[in-house]
Amino acid sequence: MSIPELPPCRMTLRLVFDCGAMIGPGKASLLEGIRDRGSIAAAGRAMGMSYKRAWMLVEEMNAAFRAPLVERVRGGARGGGAALTEAGAAALAHYRALEARAALAGAADIEAIAALLPGPSAPPGSPAPSGDEMQVAEAGPAEASAEKDMAERK
């Protein structure tokens, strides 16, 4: 028996720092929009977000980080706009790199979890694939260590 076509999956990464600063997929997309469009309003519109909400998120990021991530650009034929600062470009690049590494490192586990889901045509509540239809990833060092710690606590 073959494994049914698996539903699409996307992984999201949200970093929440002890100081209260946060960055996740929405703020990263907003930073990309500002970088690509040169405007907070245009970046927000492209995301279906009001200018007020986009500006609030920019202010939140600028206040949370050691240096502002977005700066206003004055002047020009269109009256200025916005741009990422060096810190903003670095934060965005590091976030996207971490996101890519996490997806790559977790690909086998994501696939294993997805294999436990019913196929796109299977009704909810359908039985999960049997043991011979799925592969179980071997525990890595972190999982083995956690299992050992749990066994020692008993």
Cβ atoms of residues 114 and 46 within 8 Å: no
Distance of CA 131 to the CA centre of its chain: 31
pTM for this model (two decimals): 0.71
Q: Which residues pair with 16 in a beta bridge?
A: 22
Residue 69, in any domain of the structure: yes
**37-49 pLDDT tens trace:** 999 999 999 999 9
129 backbone dihedrals φ, ψ, rounded to 5°: -55, 150
Q: What percent of the chain has pLDDT over 90?
A: 55
Greater pLDDT, 79 or 116: 116
Which residues, 6 or more positions from 125, have their beta carbon under 8 angstroms from its beta carbon? 118
Grade residue 143 by pLDDT with cuts at 50, 70 and 90: very low
Contact 117, 7 (CB under 8 A): yes
pLDDT reading at 79 higher than 80: no
As a whole number of Å, the CA-based R_g of the chain is 22
Secondary structure letter of residue 151 according to DSSP: H
Domain presence at residue 4: no
Q: Are residues 87 and 114 in the same domain?
A: no
| Arithmetic mean of pLDDT, 99-114 | 91
Q: Supply the pLDDT for residue 150.
A: 45
Q: At 40, which CATH number? A: 1.10.10.10
| Higher pLDDT among residues 75 and 139, named by residue | 75
Which residue did the predictor score with more confidence, 59 or 129? 59
The CA distance from 23 to 16, in Å, is 7
DSSP string, 52-116: HHHHHHHHHHHHHSSS-SEEEEE-TTTTEEEEE-HHHHHHHHHHHHHHHHHHHHTHHHHHHHHHT
Q: Are residues 88 and 113 in the same domain?
A: no
pLDDT for position 11: 87
pLDDT digits (tens, 9 = 90+) for 108-129: 898 899 888 887 655 555 555 5
Structural domain boundaries, residue 44: 15-102
- Asked if pLDDT for residue 65 goes beyond 80, the answer is yes
Whether pLDDT at 98 is above 70? yes
Give me the pLDDT at residue 115, please: 86
pLDDT, average across residues 136-145: 45
Q: Is 120 inside any structural domain?
A: yes
Tell which of 102, 124, 140 closes a domain: 102
